[in-house]
Amino acid sequence: MGKRSMLGRSVPGNSILHRLDARIKFLAAILIMVATLSIRDVRVMGLFILWTLVLMALSGIRVSIILRSVRPIVVIILFAVILHILTVDGHILFAIGPVRVSQEGLLAGLMTALRLSLMIINSSLFLTLTTTPLAVADALESLLSPLRFLRFPVHEFAMMMSIALRFVPTLMDEAVKIMKAQSSRGANYDTGGILKRAGGLVSILVPLFVSSFRRADDLAVAMDARCYQGEKGRTRLYTARLKFPDLAFLALVIFLLSFSLVSSRILPALTGVLGAAGG
């Protein structure tokens, strides 16, 4: 009970985003990640914010749930912002003791915060919120399939990922239950030195491992009973042929990426070259 982690939990729905091919979403997540991280221009940032807002609206998922995905990296974002404010010089806006806050520093910090947030929101919209873990695993399997020639066990890898995701909530509940059971026997996990606390962990980890092995055993038998025989002859439910919306979406993402790259890398370089030539 209590709060549950959002890890590996998709929100069911039937939006355009939900219906896109998982492989396209996987690629889109990577491309948008590169794109957001290379944004330098404020106007481009505006464009990407608009893009993300549109995606959020299209997904039909409650905003509070989407924003929850940023929570795990709030500390990192804050750290980056503070670092920028402290290190970037420029017009001093105000000073608190020895700390001088410049306009440029504030802007740089804000841009970093936005870059990281947009990156996380985009990739969780694509990969965790609108796509079931099994579809992600299927997509990964399909995208990694060239690695087969290097004898990389692509299918097994994808299957392992999906089963791990399936059991995250189950094992978390179990860990809580075991911890409560040992607390009831007088175990104390809150006080004492590091060594004592680490010793206390044994009383949680051993039962947790034992039960995980038993679950693994049971699961293997259950998979056997349902005729699992590796990837041989197996139907892939989610990797159908790509449809027009999939390709159109990918084209849009590539356009956005190139826009961001051109504006942040190529244009400054060009102006630099031209400026040098002119001067």
Partner 1 sequence: MWDTVIEFQAVSFAYGAMQGQRPVQAVRQVSFSIEKGAHVVLLGRNGSGKSTLARLMNGLLVPDEGQVLVDGKSTADDDSVYEIRRKCGMVFQNPDNQIIGTTVKDDIAFGPSNLGVPAGEILERIDRVLAMTGLEGLKDRAPHELSGGQKQKLAIASVLAMEPDCLILDEATAMLDPVARRDILELVQKLKRERGLTVVQITHHMEEALLADYVYVIGMGSIAFQGTPAQVFDQMDRVKAEGLSVPAHLEIARLVAAKTGRPYERDEIISFDGAVASVRRALKDLPQGTVRSCARAPAGQEVEMVLDVRDLSYSYDSPAGAPIAALHSVSLSVRRGEILGIAGHTGSGKSTLIQHFNGLIPAEQGKIILLGSDLSNRRVIREIRRQVGLLFQYPEDQLFEETVALDIAFAPKQQKKSPQQVEEAVLRAAKRLGIESILDRSPFELSGGQRRRVAIAGVLAAEPEIVILDEPAAGLDPAGRDDLFRDLLTLQSEGATLIVVSHDMELMTRFADRILVLKEGAVAGIGTPSEIVASEGFLEDAHLDMPAPKRFLDALREEYRDLDTSCFTITDAVDALLAAGGR
Q: Give the interface segment with partner 1, choosing from 42-50, 75-83, 132-140, 264-272 (CB under 8 A).
A: 132-140
Told to check if 187 binds partner 1 by CB under 8 A, we report yes
- Of 57 and 206, which CB lies nearer to partner 1 in the complex structure? 206
Told to check if 40 binds partner 1 by CB under 8 A, we report no
Binding test (CB under 8 A) with partner 1, winner from 45, 165, 253, 256: 165
Site for partner 1 in 203-262 (CB under 8 A): 203, 206-207, 210-211, 214-215, 218-219, 221-229, 233-237, 240
Question: Taking a C-beta distance cutoff of 8 angstroms, is the pair 149, 186 a contact?
Answer: no
Report the b/e string of 23-43 with b at 16+ CB within 10 A. bbbbbbbebbbebbebbebee
Cα→Cα distances 261→24, 172, 258, 267, Å: 20, 42, 5, 9
String of DSSP letters for 71-86: GGGHHHHHHHHHHHHH
Alpha carbons 92 and 83: distance in angstroms, whole number? 16
| Smallest distance from partner 1 to CB 239, Å | 9
Cα→Cα distances 10→27, 82, 127, 134, Å: 18, 33, 9, 10
- Of 52 and 132, which CB lies nearer to partner 1 in the complex structure? 132
User: Which residues would be at the binding site for partner 1 (CB under 8 A)?
Assistant: 1-4, 8-10, 12, 64, 132-134, 162-163, 165-166, 169-170, 173-174, 177-178, 180-188, 202-203, 206-207, 210-211, 214-215, 218-219, 221-229, 233-237, 240
